[in-house]
Structure 1
Amino acid sequence: MRFTSRTALATTLTLAVSVTAATARDLRYAAFVGTQHPSLSVSLEPMFERLREATDGELNFTTFPLGQLLGARAILEGIDDGVADGGMVVPHWYPSDIPSVVNYANMAVYGTDPFAIAGAVSEAMLLNCPECVEEYAEAGARILGAYSTTPFVLQCTTPVSSLADLDGLRVKTTGIMGPRLERLSAVPSNIPSPEMAEGLQRNQLDCVLASMDWYSSYGLQGIVTDVTEAPLGTVRGMSLMAFSTETWAELSEEHRALMLREISYAVADMMIGQEALVQDSREKAAAQGVTFHKGDETLVSALAPSAVDEELIAAYAADIGVENYAEQVEAFKAALSKWEAIVAETGRDREAFAQALYDEVYSKLK
């Protein structure tokens, strides 16, 4: 699937006209996912192609998928070391490097609309969290393309319909999701996402807590037998394009402007692509005999956002050294309220959402 935009291309071409003496750059992008993952197939690869076309090849990205250049937990360090110019960063894998960003990623109990959450976390982290920007800078990178997953569900090899069913289950989790399930007697595991399918096959895991689109993009077909869609929240704050500060400084002003414009469309494409893949994954799973559970009252009430969850988020933030947890939560809540109103107007329209993201966030960066 590839989303195209005449408006976007016209804008980038207009910006590129003034680029007359820029030096061609061959840039390396490190990914831990495969080429069929929506972050690449729907979002970044089309963006890289638009950048190549708009700059007559002066900005040329080569993608290294499946950890070919850097492993999943080595991307941020690899950007700092100059091995890659950019890469996808999952904050939870770098708690000592970017703790404030991890704190934003952990705010799973706030908000339900992934589009509004994506806009809110982008604005809150990039414009209202100097600690987030500074932590990334100290790691040799800058945040570009912050987004949110679609709602997490339990994808299991055993039925989970009640709170009692969770007892003792080994569940691959992310960040605060681990403590949330642990207090309900599950056994969390932080096994890397690319190893989920193997963990389920080898009986090292009973479930993975993940977006439904992961069913397709992480090869869970034929392994998962049951899906539980209780309220589990989303993970937000991942960076589609953590970009080298050194490389960024070497780009021309026009090329930086192009990147900031195009990353807005990349985020919109990622959000749209994820939701399309969720629907496709649900249809494939149903056709393959996967059973979907809503969860009974015991499970739904136990997983509903509560004051206990806020205490868990605060404790997690303290453990990783976040000093102004409360201020960051309030900044996100304020941004979320604003973006819920914006998304009520833009809906899932690519042009409208990307333009809002550019106007409210990326146009204010340099």
Structure 2
Amino acid sequence: MYSLPDLEPLRDFNAIAVLTSGGDSPGMNPAVRGVVRAALNSGIEVYGIQKGYSGLLAGDLRVMTSASVRNIVQRGGTILKSDRCDAFRDAEVRQQAIKVLVQNGIDALVVIGGDGSLTGAHCLAEESDIAVIGLPGTIDNDIFGTEDTIGFDTAVNTALDAIDKIRDTASSHERHFLVEVMGRNSGFLATHVGIAAGAEMVIVPEYEVHIEQLGQQLSDSRRAGKGSSGIIVVAEGREPGLTYRLAQQLKQQGEEPRVCILGHIQRGGQPSGHDRVLASGLGAMAVSYLLAGYSDIMVGVAEGAIVDIPLDSVIRYRKGLDPNLFELALLLHR
């Protein structure tokens, strides 16, 4: 477990609320449980907001009890449901959300989600007297200020389970498979999956792919007797259809690759033990930070410790893929 900060309680709350927003990720349920149990044990009433910011605007709030979060740590997805709310970009719409919170006597909010969700959290903190804490819930692990995000470990293991099965077919038919994982703007997931799966190549948005070089590498490997089958892990990229375009280009060079899109299978499934511990710790510590007087921060992890990062920095800066990690992925398949 990560080392925890020693925070002194400085303020009281009558009621807090928690929501999950954006794409779901395995571990959101343990995070919700951490928030609810920690708040109740501190004598604070807790509301669960259904369907993220959309549910907040609709006033879909439900009182949470200890029983509400019983037996949910092993469940994928989120019991609070989730949504992407484009309307929340509008300041007037956010004022409606603030009004809902105030009318229900809620003076603090915990938001679990990715960069878009945390941007909304920052806006609420700036535009109201509501104390707001964000938790990084995304399988992409692309949130600035934290080394790990809720759901990332599970998504890696889900992709590995699929690739291990795909490799059996790739070997039997002596073919290469282009396996697409999630990651529009970030190659964290693809790089970790590629290293763990022993992939022959990893293609990510951060680095330009030279398809001629890739085709030549596959051809050279075949001639050198290093194998005529294997796995190429591809992050989905910014434009739909990237993996199919790569497959078509490889066909023009004489290869016969197959494409497998893992898609939303990566979002589902039981959270790993790592994600359950991470999410539980972050959820409980979110309440500790609120009681210590913090607001407009994200609670994340760095160097083996739970830390706080200003939400302004979280949304202002982009977490870059470690070039040394990507180089390791390249090194291991040469």
TM-score (norm 2): 0.27
TM-score (norm 1): 0.25
Compare the two structures and name the one with the higher helix fraction: 1
